[in-house]
């Protein structure tokens, strides 16, 4: 069984962290899950800044890809992102695509995303005897 995850590293526009986090939690994660068919999504805040002071991101969102859906999801998302980039180049607001509303509190230009493939099954802690 091949496992895939879509990981998105983001920041909020300066001074708009709470607004951006609320939008992510209240709207965007569920929009992504429903629109593309991810099996789940979860938004995280980095709490380890003292160990990695130069790390450029404050947030990470992970989306689980259903088994057997990687190629379809990847292609659908790539098509949507291409359309979104084209729209951004022609629209200074850049807050909506045809399929996905975006928050103006999100620093979209600084966002980075990656498709990941697991190299092995999760290692689980052994039960205590």
Residue 27 domain flag: yes
Domains in the chain: how many in total? 1
Q: 67 with 46: CB under 8 angstroms?
A: no
Which of 13-17, 28-32, 40-44, 92-96 shows the lowest per-residue confidence on average (mean pLDDT)?
Answer: 92-96
Q: Cα separations (Å) of 55 from 16, 58, 106?
A: 19, 8, 18
Q: Residue 94: is its pLDDT beyond 50? A: no
49 lies in a domain? yes
In a domain, 128, yes or no: no
Q: What is the pLDDT of residue 104?
A: 92
**Does any domain span residue 14?**
yes
Specify the pTM. Answer: 0.85
| CATH code for position 11 | 3.30.70
The pLDDT value recorded for residue 90 is 58
Alpha-carbon distance of 65 to 115, in angstroms, equals 10
Dump pLDDT digits (tens) for 47-80: 876 788 888 999 999 999 999 999 999 999 888 8
Query: What was the pLDDT predicted at 83?
Result: 76
Question: What would the mean pLDDT of 100-122 be, rounded to a whole number?
Answer: 92
Q: Is 125 a domain residue?
A: no
Return d(Cα 99, Cα 80) in angstroms, integer. Answer: 8
Domain hosting residue 97, numbered range: 4-117
């Amino acid at each position: 069984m091949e496992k895939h995850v879509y990981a998105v590293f983001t920041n909020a526009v300066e001074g708009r962290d709470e607004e951006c986090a609320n939008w992510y939690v209240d709207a965007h994660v569920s929009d992504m899950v429903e629109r593309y068919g991810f099996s789940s999504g979860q938004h995280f805040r980095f709490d380890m800044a003292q160990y990695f002071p130069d790390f450029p991101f404050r947030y990470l969102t992970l989306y689980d890809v259903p088994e057997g859906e990687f190629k379809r999801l990847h292609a659908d998302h790539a098509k949507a992102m291409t359309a979104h980039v084209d729209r951004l180049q022609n629209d200074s607001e850049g807050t909506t695509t045809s399929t996905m509303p975006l928050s103006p509190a999100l620093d979209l230009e600084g966002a980075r995303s990656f498709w990941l493939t697991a190299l092995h099954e999760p290692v689980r802690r052994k039960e205590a005897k």
